[in-house]
Amino acid sequence: MKIEKVKFDRLKMPLLSSFQTSFGTVTAREFVLVSVFGEGHVGYAECVAMDAPVYNEETIDSALHVAEQFIIPKLLETELDTPEDFSTIFSWIRKNNMAKSGIESAIWDLYAKQNGISLSKALGGNKEEIEVGVSIGIEPTVEGLLKKVEGFLEEGYKKIKIKIKPGVDVERVKAVRERFGYDIPLMADANSAYTLADLETLKQLDQYKLIMIEQPLAHDDIVDHSKLQRELETPICLDESIHSLEDARKAIELGSCKIINIKIGRVGGLTQAKKIHDLCQEKGIPVWCGGMLESGIGRAHNIAVASLSNFTIPGDTSASKKYWAEDIIEPDVVLSKPGIVTVPKEPGIGYKLRQDVVDKYLLSSKVY
Ligand SMILES: O=C(O)CCC(=O)c1ccccc1C(=O)O
Ligand SMILES: [Mg+2]
């Protein structure tokens, strides 16, 4: 494979409803749409870095810098046998996983299109449908939260994740359980907002039988998580702490989690995502696909990766209309049945780019 040209379109799209986590509030999502060109085809992906380094160390600007200075010049003069070569060639670049992933995932889409197969098939996915859930931010009021939960349950979403932070935690989980009972698949995501000093609060959550608690402790920790997991009945799921196959191996070995959230961007691309998936499968650790408030392009990649067999827990890959007034893809990501998204069979990601919508939200473009 020869990459003939790379294009970055920087977009800013307003979210239908603002999204609050323990690290801040997002009202509009700024991101980079990546296009890679080769043999008459175009592969698309999304760089999911955020505008500030609050989720991980990257920002949109840092990702663009790393891509422009260290990835693109080499990429444009290199012949790849398969998309897997990308992560080998650029393994010398430490971290900056979202910068790598934006380009690597676009190459996977290009590869699948050049070979006339779906991205799901190219990755070795074997599911025709995936189960999906929703991630609900910290709502201003309990009543507001309950209303959102009710709406998403009516749409059939198969997992309800609510964001928590110190002071907005036990009472929220309790309220959801009291209103909707113990049969709904409920979990909480703390985005690293607690420490072991909060053990008593975290233990109180056990009584509400959450399917998991996601990343309760520091973003760079696996040691305290392993101590915490020994104190909790609720399974811990790691998100922020897992950047690589090695991180996953160590966390599993230490008993720091029982579940892993795989985000393609956080781990540096689809090749690494697949490797972590395979390791987890071998070790009996179920995985699910997390989200970064993606546009339809990033969402399409999430759908494809979630079609791999060990993605046994519904992911945060919700329908387009949970996020956007208009998505940049055609068709929208929709629930084909309650809580189900059908994995496209068309070549590549299986969704077309809506250039009219891209143009509407475009901040700047650059071609290499
Ligand atoms: O709906 C989604 O895309 C998931 C949203 C979400 O939970 C999230 C969004 C931005 C950054 C981090 C996270 C997270 O999973 O921790
Ligand atoms: Mg998370």
Looking at the structure, tell me whether residues 200 and 61 fall in a common domain.
no
Looking at the structure, tell me whether residues 184 and 106 fall in a common domain.
no
Looking at the structure, tell me whether residues 126 and 255 fall in a common domain.
yes
The answer to whether the beta carbons of residues 251 and 260 sit under 8 Å apart is yes
Looking at the structure, tell me whether residues 343 and 357 fall in a common domain.
no
Q: Is 291 in the pocket of ligand 1 (CB under 6 A)?
A: yes
Which domain range does residue 228 map to? 121-349
Q: State how beta strands 129-131 and 340-342 pair.
A: antiparallel
Q: Complex ipTM, two decimals?
A: 0.99
Atom of ligand 1 nearest to the CA of 191: 16
| Distance from C-alpha of 262 to C-alpha of 305, rounded to nearest angstrom | 9
Per-residue confidence (pLDDT) for residue 278, from 0 to 100: 98
How many domains does the chain contain in total?
2
Looking at the structure, tell me whether residues 101 and 137 fall in a common domain.
no
Per-residue confidence (pLDDT) for residue 147, from 0 to 100: 98
Please report, for the domain that includes residue 19, its CATH number: 3.30.390.10
Looking at the structure, tell me whether residues 323 and 185 fall in a common domain.
yes
Residue numbers annotated as active site: 163, 263
91 SS3 class: coil
Q: Walk along the chain (368 residues) in steps of 10 and give the mean pLDDT of each run.
A: 98 97 95 98 98 97 98 98 98 98 98 98 98 98 98 98 98 98 98 98 98 98 98 98 98 98 98 98 98 98 98 98 98 98 98 98 98
Cβ neighbors of 94 (< 8 A, separation 6 or more) are none
Per-residue confidence (pLDDT) for residue 315, from 0 to 100: 98
Per-residue confidence (pLDDT) for residue 78, from 0 to 100: 97
For ligand 2, the distance from its centroid to the CA atom of residue 50, given in whole angstroms, is 14
Is 368 within the bounds of a domain? no
| Distance from C-alpha of 29 to C-alpha of 203, rounded to nearest angstrom | 34
For ligand 2, the distance from its centroid to the CA atom of residue 191, given in whole angstroms, is 6
Is 264 within the bounds of a domain? yes
| Distance from C-alpha of 211 to C-alpha of 131, rounded to nearest angstrom | 15
Is 367 within the bounds of a domain? no
Is 33 within the bounds of a domain? yes
Looking at the structure, tell me whether residues 218 and 163 fall in a common domain.
yes
Looking at the structure, tell me whether residues 111 and 168 fall in a common domain.
no
For ligand 1, the distance from its centroid to the CA atom of residue 278, given in whole angstroms, is 23
Per-residue confidence (pLDDT) for residue 233, from 0 to 100: 98
Residue with tokens 């609900």: 136
Residue with tokens 């703390």: 190
Q: Is 290 in the pocket of ligand 1 (CB under 6 A)?
A: yes
Cβ neighbors of 368 (< 8 A, separation 6 or more) are 5, 6, 7, 8, 68, 72, 76
Looking at the structure, tell me whether residues 139 and 225 fall in a common domain.
yes
Looking at the structure, tell me whether residues 189 and 230 fall in a common domain.
yes
22 SS3 class: coil
Is 86 within the bounds of a domain? yes
Is 324 within the bounds of a domain? yes
Looking at the structure, tell me whether residues 113 and 161 fall in a common domain.
no
Per-residue CA distances from 31 to 63, 65, 126, 166 (Å): 10, 14, 30, 29
Is 177 within the bounds of a domain? yes
Q: Is 240 in the pocket of ligand 1 (CB under 6 A)?
A: no
Please report, for the domain that includes residue 246, its CATH number: 3.20.20.120
Per-residue confidence (pLDDT) for residue 21, from 0 to 100: 94
Looking at the structure, tell me whether residues 80 and 112 fall in a common domain.
yes
Class of residue 219 by CB neighbours under 10 A (exposed 0-12, middle 13-18, buried 19+): middle
Residue 130 structure tokens: 């995936």
Per-residue confidence (pLDDT) for residue 179, from 0 to 100: 98
Largest CA distance in the chain: 60
